[in-house]
Amino acid sequence: MSTAPILVGFDPSSADRAPVHFAIAAARLTGAPLVVGSVHADPAAYGQPVHGHVEGELLGDAEQPLEHIRRELVSEGVKAECRALPGWSTARALHEEAERIDAGLLVVGSASEGLAGRLRPGSTATRLLHGAPCPVAVVPHSWQRGGGLQTIGVAYVDTPEGHEALDGALALARRAGAKLRVLSAAKPHHHGTTPHADRLSDAGTYGATEDDLGVAVEQAIAAATGSKPQAEIEPDVSIHDPAEFLIAASQLLDLLICGSRGYGPSRAVLLGGVSRRVTAEAHCPVIVLVRGAERGLEALIGDRTEATV
């Protein structure tokens, strides 16, 4: 299986290079082809009226900003294809380009300048998480590249989506030679709350003890790794607010991987409660596996099974 390409959205109206730098690191790790896409305003690109609505931050021409990126990439020895993507919506243009090139990962920034660390309702990242054809990486505005992937975290949930996230995170940890922290939390039981209150797991952990969570995580790790873990794995469980637990844990992670919740429409992430806060407030990049997407994280690994950086 060949490695699917990585598509990163570059916003020429912003000085934020964090998404591009993260995409470069991911491409180097996986050997995936890198495509930098910059969306520029062109309502006629879709051949139909758009009722006069074009995103206000879109520039009329992406060629000049893309030329700056091309020069930066060349100076760093990075091989990438830079493409101007005409359209009236950044999210829609990136979504369609990801489908067209059969991307294995779509990388975007978390916020516009001045909103570091927060996702605005209706932002590009938020829209893409509702139906992207592949996993989406959301990179905080303040993120800076450093020493590579040393520690990867995965938000474990005892659902098919949670097991998929664990499998993908384990594959990346093996590839990078990184430590994998398997994170699981459930809110403590309080009288009068419902069993569907904010929690990391959608089934089987409401009112659970820390020992219960620990056993469940150990069993999941054993099932995922078999007799050959091929990675350092550290379970980390807590009876605590799941969103706060994951956000705090992200301070010590180089990457956090989350699955979507196990219900709702296919190819969507329900950005309520835990998922909304974690994606918006994590201190490290977050890769979200979109439910029902054609590709999972294994598409980034391809045939390259040896763990090198």
What averages of pLDDT result for each successive group of 10 residues across the chain (309 residues)? 86 83 93 91 55 51 81 91 87 92 93 48 74 89 84 90 90 93 82 45 52 90 84 91 92 91 47 69 91 70 46
| Predicted TM-score (pTM) of this structure | 0.82
pLDDT reported for residue 251:
95
- CA nearest neighbour of 289 among 106, 109, 135, 103: 135
CATH fold of 151-301: Rossmann fold (3.40.50)
Beta bridge mates, 48: none
Residues 96 and 86: beta-carbon distance below 8 Å: no
Q: Which residue has the tokens 């180089």?
A: 254
State the Cα–Cα distance between residues 166 and 235, nearest whole angstrom.
Answer: 12
Residue range 6-139 forms a domain whose CATH class is alpha beta
Q: Would you give the distance in Å from CA 258 to the centre of its chain?
A: 7
Ranges in the chain annotated CATH 3.40.50.620: 6-139, 151-301
Strand order in the sheet with 34-41: 81-87, 34-41, 6-9, 105-109, 136-139, 286-289, 255-259, 151-155, 179-186, 233-239
Interior angle at CA 228, CA 250 and CA 212, nearest 5: 55
